[in-house]
Amino acid sequence: MDDRIDDLIRDEARDYNEPPATPTEAMWEAIRVGRTEGRTGGRIAPVPVAVPGVRTFRPSALPPFRLGVGIAALLALGIGIGRWMEHGRPGAQAPTVAQAPARQAPAGVVDSAAVVAPPGSEAGRELASARGPSAPRGGSPAQFASRTERRSGAEATAYDLALSQHLGQSEAFLTLFRSSVRSGRIDPVAFASARQLLSTNRLLLDSRAGADPASRQLLQDLELVLAQIAQLRTSGDSSDVHIVTEDMDRGDVLPRLRTAVPAGI
């Protein structure tokens, strides 16, 4: 009985998603462009082999709204870490930087706003005295430099993560949007999603995530596309839809997003 059903299933399943002729040339052209992008600054992430049945926690498994909130929180965290590190721990003081009295600065040589107090100088002694024996110490310039490097690393990781999450969401959104344009049915939710992604995009553009020229260019192109989609609701003109998809294709926005998003995000 089971064999009979299996045979039936095999026969009937043959035309399940039956592939059309392979669009060899169109794909090759896109691959050439994609490879060029990869060589000139795009990131090609390693491909982890998917193991069916193994489920791991993925932040991107959250619904889009919560994910947007998560990205905003992550950005805020990155900015917070940056500011916290900038000012040092609460109660700590910059150990070797002091407001120097203008009269002590040699005129025309040193900026009177702030000078580095040499060890043993009057300003240095004042600082040591003010700190007291129990006050946290800032450390040597070498330690300060090391702390700065750690700070930069933590910030970079936070921004990278936020950027990857955003680009992954945008990629999924644009893939769906393009499919819905082809089928002629644009879900009204798409406009709200576009606005939400646009907000995150602007936050990222204004953050350090937008400092990298390649990322900035991608975010700017993405912003244009998202803004156009968000505007579609009010215009309601079908020719506008085609302008958006043309812009997406012209700027290779989707291939560039895919190149920039690490696998698994």
Partner 1 sequence: MDDRGLIARVLAGDATAERALYDAHVDRVFRLVYRMAGDLDQAQDYVQETFIRAFSRLADFRGESALSTWLGSIAISVTLNGLRKVKRFRQREVALEDAAELGRVTREAEPDLKTRLHGAIDALPPGYRAVFVMHDMEGYTHEEIAASLGVQPGTSKAQLFRARARLREALADFVTD
Interacting residues with partner 1 (CB under 8 A): 2, 4-6, 8-10, 12-17, 19-20, 22-24, 26-28, 30-31, 34-35, 38, 44, 46-53, 60-61, 63-64, 168-169, 171-173, 175-176, 178-179, 182, 254-255, 258-259, 263-264
Query: At how many degrees (to 10) do helices 253-260 and 213-235 cross?
Result: 130
Residue 202 neighbours by CB distance under 10 Å = 15
We find the least distance from the C-beta atom of residue 100 to partner 1, in angstroms, to be 54
Between 53 and 213, CB nearer to partner 1: 53
Instruction: Output b/e per residue, 101-120; b: 16+ Cβ within 10 A.
Output: eeeeeeeeeeeeeebebeee
Between 190 and 232, CB nearer to partner 1: 190
Between 96 and 193, CB nearer to partner 1: 193
Question: What residues contact residue 188 under an 8 Å CB cut-off, 6+ apart?
Answer: 233
Residue 100 neighbours by CB distance under 10 Å = 19
We find the least distance from the C-beta atom of residue 150 to partner 1, in angstroms, to be 31
Chain Cα centroid distance, residue 80: 17
221 vs 248: CA distance, rounded Å: 8
We find the least distance from the C-beta atom of residue 12 to partner 1, in angstroms, to be 5
We find the least distance from the C-beta atom of residue 14 to partner 1, in angstroms, to be 7
Between 98 and 260, CB nearer to partner 1: 260
Between 71 and 127, CB nearer to partner 1: 71
Map residue 250 onto helix, strand or coil.
helix
We find the least distance from the C-beta atom of residue 70 to partner 1, in angstroms, to be 14
E strand or H helix at 151, and its extent?
A: helix 141-183
244 vs 237: CA distance, rounded Å: 11
Between 112 and 199, CB nearer to partner 1: 199
Between 49 and 113, CB nearer to partner 1: 49
Residue among 98, 92, 99 at smallest CA distance from 143: 92
Residue among 198, 230, 211, 196 at smallest CA distance from 68: 196
198 vs 215: CA distance, rounded Å: 15
Question: What residues contact residue 112 under an 8 Å CB cut-off, 6+ apart?
Answer: 100, 102, 105
Between 29 and 206, CB nearer to partner 1: 29
Max Cα–Cα distance, the chain, nearest Å: 101
We find the least distance from the C-beta atom of residue 42 to partner 1, in angstroms, to be 9
We find the least distance from the C-beta atom of residue 117 to partner 1, in angstroms, to be 52
We find the least distance from the C-beta atom of residue 213 to partner 1, in angstroms, to be 21
